[in-house]
């Protein structure tokens, strides 16, 4: 059996740099804790060269020149861990989201182990799979170490101890792991102190100790650590739940007030979302944008905390899409039409995954516009005329006249006809006047006798009604009206049938429908 391990060094730093790529070329240290007791929990290589060390206080870290100090972001770490799992699931269905349990465990979700046994026919040799895993994780914005071994623990220790791609040949795990420092085994503090007094500082020294003497002095825990150092442990993976939750977020150092810098940040998040969707062979049918708004800079910290609120927008698409540029333009147009009313401190974008769209045009059908371009055009129109004026009309389950609502356009899907049940029934052709035609009506014994329409008199030759229609009395949009069906005839013209109604709130007759 073969196992591959993906390990992301300095995970809190890389999680932040994943959404802020310019930090990758700078010295960065991540702080955590409760003010004023903030300490350094992670730092990249450039920061260590500048004198930063894990455990430093914020005051000590500020004394180091040219070092960017950032607060730990749990939102970005959760997104980075989810992206790491997405990259692993692209190769194997058996994936473990590994967390250490000892003194040096950070529990950041920086390690993922997957079973690659039997995948050589699909992806090639273990070395080829390791290189492809590195490339896949790099597309997610993370730089990782990948190791392949015959057991999960040996692969994990190799990934945490060696940079780049490492292949542990069968039977050579103990030799290859021998140079690694013993603290990678994550012993307890007392156990590590005992090994240091014995002069055991690497895997090779621990593996060479006699088992009986080690058991007498350190017990079963000592034997377990020795087996790990020898690369002889066997265990089954604990598969992670393959929940598909595509969500990216970022906490900003300084609040954003303009849409242009907001679009710059959203573009990075959308690129990561599309990369994760592609790794799972999925697309998005909906985007949900959540913004945490705060107070302005001229307000005090307490006032800014009190003014925190959430602003949400949701975009549904007619077909599943996977283009970050289209997503960004749609969000820009939507925010331009519905701007947030405060500075933005935190951004979160979630995508609703769905299988991608598979479409093939007919040979004899004209080619229509791409759904992505059509959606952009509709978004621009909505920004000009409003959301309630763009889309396709949908009738409501109501007796109210002309009761409908606008819904988003959906692609046309032809339904097969059942010719055996198809019946041809005569239907009346109806035309609705919008707005209704204003008319004056003269009653004769309570029945319409003459109708004056566009300054011309029409005689009523036949009338049926009235019918009282009403509804919505439990809402603010209550309506009540009397309706007549009339046959009108003017001089030297053909008769016509109309439906006239009297709105009881306006006390007038209106010619509304001609049929």
Give 236's contacts (C-beta < 8 A, 6+ positions apart): none
The tokens describing 115, both together, are 């079973």
pLDDT over threshold 60, residue 422: no
- The pLDDT of residue 171: 87
Distance (Å, rounded) from C-alpha 188 to C-alpha 387? Answer: 61
Under the phi-then-psi rule, with left for phi > 0, alpha for psi from -120 to 50, and beta for the rest, what region is 281?
left
When pLDDT is cut at 50, 70 and 90, the band that residue 506 belongs to is low
Q: What domains, with CATH codes, occur in the chain? A: 3-9+74-230 (3.30.70.270), 246-354 (3.30.1490.100), 431-514 (no CATH)
Strands 508-514 and 431-438 come out as: antiparallel
Angle between helices 324-337 and 371-385 (to 10 degrees): 10
What's the chain's average pLDDT?
84
When pLDDT is cut at 50, 70 and 90, the band that residue 479 belongs to is confident
- Whose structure tokens read 């598909």? 244
Query: Ranked by mean pLDDT, which of 31-40, 384-393, 473-482 comes out on top?
Result: 31-40
Distance (Å, rounded) from C-alpha 208 to C-alpha 214? Answer: 10
pLDDT over threshold 50, residue 15: yes
Give the residue with greater pLDDT, 505 vs 40: 40
- The pLDDT of residue 481: 81
pLDDT, tens only, 56-99: 999 999 999 889 999 998 889 989 999 999 999 999 999 999 86
Within 10 angstroms of residue 230's Cβ, the number of other Cβ atoms is 18
User: Nearest CA to 510 among 490, 486, 475, 489?
Assistant: 486
Is residue 466 reached through a cis peptide bond, with omega within 30 degrees of 0 on the bond before it?
Answer: yes
- The pLDDT of residue 306: 65
> How many Cα atoms occupy the beta-carbon half-sphere of 58 within 13 Å?
13
Within 10 angstroms of residue 196's Cβ, the number of other Cβ atoms is 12
- The pLDDT of residue 303: 63
- Whose structure tokens read 């791609």? 165
Is residue 435 reached through a cis peptide bond, with omega within 30 degrees of 0 on the bond before it?
Answer: yes
pLDDT over threshold 80, residue 305: no
> Which segment of 24-38, 157-171, 277-291, 372-386 scores lowest on mean pLDDT?
372-386
- The pLDDT of residue 107: 57
- The pLDDT of residue 348: 93
- The pLDDT of residue 105: 42
- The pLDDT of residue 198: 93
How many angstroms separate the most distant Cα atoms in the chain? 121
H helix runs in 63-125, sequence order: 74-89, 120-123
pLDDT over threshold 80, residue 491: no
Average pLDDT of the residues in 396-415: 68
Percent of the chain with pLDDT over 90: 44
How open is the CA angle 166-169-175, to the nearest 5 degrees? 85
- The pLDDT of residue 418: 56
Average pLDDT of the residues in 426-452: 75
Distance separating the N- and C-terminal Cα atoms of the chain: 78
- The pLDDT of residue 513: 43
- The pLDDT of residue 438: 79
Distance (Å, rounded) from C-alpha 451 to C-alpha 465? Answer: 15
Distance (Å, rounded) from C-alpha 16 to C-alpha 38? Answer: 17
The 3-state DSSP class for residue 375 equals: helix
pLDDT over threshold 50, residue 104: no
- The pLDDT of residue 16: 93
> Which CA distances in Å does 436 have to 195, 200, 406, 500, 506?
92, 93, 20, 10, 13
pLDDT over threshold 90, residue 507: no
> Which segment of 109-113, 141-145, 190-194, 506-510 scores lowest on mean pLDDT?
506-510
DSSP assignments along 257-303, one per residue? -SHHHHHHHHHHHHHHHHHHHHHTT-EEEEEEEEEEE---TTS-HHH
When pLDDT is cut at 50, 70 and 90, the band that residue 429 belongs to is low
Distance (Å, rounded) from C-alpha 24 to C-alpha 350? Answer: 25
DSSP 8-state assignment for residue 389 = G
Give the residue with greater pLDDT, 154 vs 463: 154
Within 10 angstroms of residue 481's Cβ, the number of other Cβ atoms is 19
pLDDT, tens only, 336-357: 888 888 889 899 999 999 988 7
Distance (Å, rounded) from C-alpha 507 to C-alpha 351? Answer: 52
Average pLDDT of the residues in 481-505: 80
pLDDT over threshold 60, residue 283: yes
- The pLDDT of residue 444: 82
Average pLDDT of the residues in 32-57: 91
- The pLDDT of residue 26: 92
pTM confidence score: 0.71
What is the Cα 178 distance to its own chain's centre?
Answer: 43
């Amino acid at each position: 059996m073969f196992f591959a391990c993906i390990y992301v060094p300095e995970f809190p730093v890389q999680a932040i740099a994943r959404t802020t790529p310019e930090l990758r070329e700078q010295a960065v240290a991540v702080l955590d804790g409760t003010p004023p007791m903030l300490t350094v929990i992670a730092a990249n290589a450039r920061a260590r060269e500048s004198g930063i060390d894990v455990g430093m206080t914020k005051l000590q870290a500020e004394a180091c020149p040219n070092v960017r100090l950032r607060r730990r972001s749990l939102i970005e770490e959760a997104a980075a861990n989810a992206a790491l799992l997405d990259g692993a699931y692209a190769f194997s269905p058996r994936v473990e989201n590994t967390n250490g349990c000892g003194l040096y465990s950070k529990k950041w979700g920086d390690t993922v182990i997957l079973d690659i046994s039997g995948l050589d026919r699909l992806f090639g040799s273990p070395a080829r799979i390791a290189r492809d895993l590195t490339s896949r994780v790099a597309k997610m914005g993370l730089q990782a170490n990948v190791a392949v071994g015959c057991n999960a623990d040996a692969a994990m220790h190799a990934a945490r101890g060696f940079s780049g791609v490492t292949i542990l040949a069968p039977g050579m795990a103990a030799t290859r792991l021998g140079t690694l420092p013993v603290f990678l085994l994550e012993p307890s503090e007392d156990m590590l102190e005992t090994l240091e007094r014995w002069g055991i500082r690497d895997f090779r020294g621990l593996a060479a100790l006699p088992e009986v003497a080690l058991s007498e002095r350190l017990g079963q825990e000592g034997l377990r650590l020795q087996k790990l150092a020898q690369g002889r442990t066997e265990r089954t993976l604990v598969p992670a739940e393959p929940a598909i939750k595509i969500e990216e977020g970022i906490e900003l150092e300084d609040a954003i007030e303009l849409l242009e810098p907001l679009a710059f940040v959203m573009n990075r998040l959308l690129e990561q979302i599309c990369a994760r969707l592609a790794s799972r062979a999925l697309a998005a049918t909906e985007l949900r944008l959540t913004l945490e708004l705060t107070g302005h800079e001229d307000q005090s910290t307490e006032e800014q905390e009190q003014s925190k609120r959430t602003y949400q927008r949701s975009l549904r698409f007619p077909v599943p899409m996977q283009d970050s540029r289209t997503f960004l333009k749609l969000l820009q147009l939507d925010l331009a039409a519905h701007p947030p009313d405060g500075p933005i401190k935190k951004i979160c974008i979630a995508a609703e995954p769905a299988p991608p769209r598979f479409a093939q045009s007919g040979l004899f059908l004209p080619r229509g516009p791409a759904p992505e371009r059509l959606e952009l055009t509709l978004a621009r129109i909505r920004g000009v005329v409003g959301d309630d004026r763009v889309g396709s009309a949908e009738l409501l389950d109501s007796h109210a006249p002309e009761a409908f609502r606008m819904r988003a356009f959906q692609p046309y899907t032809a339904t097969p006809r059942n010719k055996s049940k198809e019946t041809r029934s005569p239907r009346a052709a109806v035309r609705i006047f919008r707005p209704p035609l204003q008319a004056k009506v003269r009653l004769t014994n309570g029945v319409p006798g003459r109708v004056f329409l566009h300054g011309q008199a029409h005689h009523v030759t036949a009338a049926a009604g009235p019918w009282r229609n009403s509804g919505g009395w439990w809402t603010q949009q209550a309506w009540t009206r009397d309706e007549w069906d009339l046959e009108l005839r003017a001089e030297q013209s053909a008769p016509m049938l109309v439906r006239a109604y009297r709105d009881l709130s306006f006390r007038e007759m209106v010619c509304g429908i001609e049929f």
